[in-house]
Amino acid sequence: MLNGQKMWLTNGGSSTLVAVLCRTDEGQPEGAAPHKSMTTFLIEKTPGFGLNETVPGLTIPGKIEKMGYKGVDTTEMILEDVRIPADRVLGGVSGRGFYQMMDGVEVGRVNVAARGCGVAQRAFELGIRYAQQRSTFGKKIAEHQAIQFKLSEMATKVEAAHQMMVMAARKKDSGQRNDLEAGMAKYLASEYCKEVVEDSFRIHGGYGFSKEYEIERLYREAPMLLIGEGTAEIQKMIIGRRLLEDYRLAD
Ligand SMILES: Cc1cc2nc3c(=O)[nH]c(=O)nc-3n(C[C@H](O)[C@H](O)[C@H](O)COP(=O)(O)OP(=O)(O)OC[C@H]3O[C@@H](n4cnc5c(N)ncnc54)[C@H](O)[C@@H]3O)c2cc1C
């Protein structure tokens, strides 16, 4: 029987299948590493929200109201004594859940990095267009060196993040472990995305604050990328541990 609560399910309401990582008894000795006692269960459910259980014991209370990322629903999930058939274990073997999820997270981090590149690229395009339309002090603002410097920094960040994201994706595609590269790409692309969006917002002056301009929406989209698939602090922990593995001094 499955019991527990999980916040932040992307498509939690509209989905028909949920992969749930659970602690399971794998006969490990007391004090053994917890990641060896985790299993991914697949729960089939009907789409929907509200207090009506979508399968006996499973409740999706409702959509979480968010500042951005509105194209998908995001929910909580409550499991109370949920029974599922014994064969609904991902991969058919229990105790492999942690490794399965980490494999997925490596792809997910490249995915978030790619989204960061897309949002940053669009913010840059909006900024360089607006800078050639708006005039102050008798010239286009793109002719002010302060604005040109911003545009230069923005374009450099977009290009650097893109290169790192593609490198991490290629490594995964080739079947190699890419946790270091995925962590670096996710960290860099999401931080640069936030900075490029902020600079584009500043270039727009007061209009950046108006919902009539697309940059207002991008300003609300960028923060999610700092958090999803692990925060900057978590990426830096992963990067740091991997670096110490790769550069360990000989005993
Ligand atoms: C819109 C949205 C959709 C999401 N979709 C999904 C989904 O589909 N599936 C899913 O599983 N999750 C999903 N998430 C969850 C998301 O992955 C987490 O919110 C994210 O990983 C951060 O975890 P947390 O919210 O528990 O923050 P916390 O872990 O509580 O972190 C809070 C702060 O503490 C810091 N911190 C935490 N631990 C450490 C540490 N050891 N050292 C230093 N600093 C630390 C963090 O960096 C952060 O600044 C989604 C989140 C959002 C906002």
Does residue 36 sit in the same domain as residue 106?
Answer: no
| 240 assigned to some structural domain | yes
What does the pLDDT read at residue 32?
Answer: 87
Cβ neighbour number for residue 115 with a 10 Å cutoff: 22
Q: What is the CATH number of the domain that holds 242?
A: 1.20.140.10
Closest C-alpha to 73, from 103, 53, 50, 102 = 50
Q: Of 187, 190, 191, 196, nearest to 215 (Cα)?
A: 196
Same domain, 109 and 220: yes
Is the same domain home to 69 and 139?
Answer: no
Residue 185: domain span: 98-246
Q: Are residues 64 and 119 in the same domain?
A: no
- Model pLDDT, residue 29: 87
Q: Is residue 39 part of a domain?
A: yes
Q: Domain total for the chain?
A: 2
Write out the DSSP string of 111-140. Answer: HHHHHHHHHHHHHHHHHHHHHTT-EETTEE
Q: Are residues 176 and 61 in the same domain?
A: no
Q: What is the pLDDT along the chain (251 residues), one digit of tens a residue?
A: 899 999 999 999 999 999 999 999 998 888 888 899 999 999 999 998 876 556 889 999 999 999 999 999 999 999 999 999 989 999 999 999 999 999 999 999 999 999 999 999 999 999 999 999 999 999 999 999 999 999 999 999 999 999 999 999 999 999 999 999 999 999 999 999 999 999 999 999 999 999 999 999 999 999 999 999 999 999 999 999 999 999 999 98
Q: Do 228 and 107 share a structural domain?
A: yes
Length of the chain (residues): 251
| Given the residues 106, 191, 221, 229, the one annotated as active site | 229
**Tokens standing for residue 42:** 């697949």
From 34, 69, 92, the end of a domain falls on 92
pLDDT of residue 157: 98
Same domain for 11 and 76?
Answer: yes
Q: What angle do CA 162, 102, 192 make, to 5 degrees?
A: 25
221 flagged as catalytic:
no
Ligand 1 centroid from CA 234, angstroms = 9
Of the residues 68, 92, 116, which one is the last residue of a structural domain?
92
Q: Tell me if 38 is assigned to some domain.
A: yes
Would residue 110 count as lying in a domain? yes
Q: Which of 40, 58, 92 is the last residue of a domain?
A: 92
Task: Let me know whether 40 and 136 are in one domain.
Answer: no
CA distance 126 to 106: 31
Q: Taking a C-beta distance cutoff of 8 angstroms, is the pair 154, 124 a contact?
A: yes
Say if residue 65 is in the same domain as residue 131: no
Same structural domain for residues 120 and 216?
A: yes
Q: Dump strand ranges (E) for the chain.
A: 2-10, 17-23, 38-44, 50-55, 58-60, 74-82, 135-136, 139-140
Query: How many CB atoms within 10 Å of residue 245?
Result: 9
The DSSP call for residue 226 is H
Residue nearest atom 35 of ligand 1, based on CA coordinates: 233
| CATH number of the domain bearing residue 34 | 2.40.110.10
Instruction: Tell me, yes or no, whether 251 lies in a domain.
Output: no
List the residue whose alpha carbon is closest to atom 42 of ligand 1.
Answer: 233
Together in a domain, 142 and 176: yes
Atom of ligand 1 nearest to the CA of 11: 8
Residues 22 and 70 grouped into a single domain? yes
pLDDT at 86: 85
Q: Please tell me the predicted confidence (pLDDT) of residue 51.
A: 63
Nearest-atom index, ligand 1, CA of 224: 53
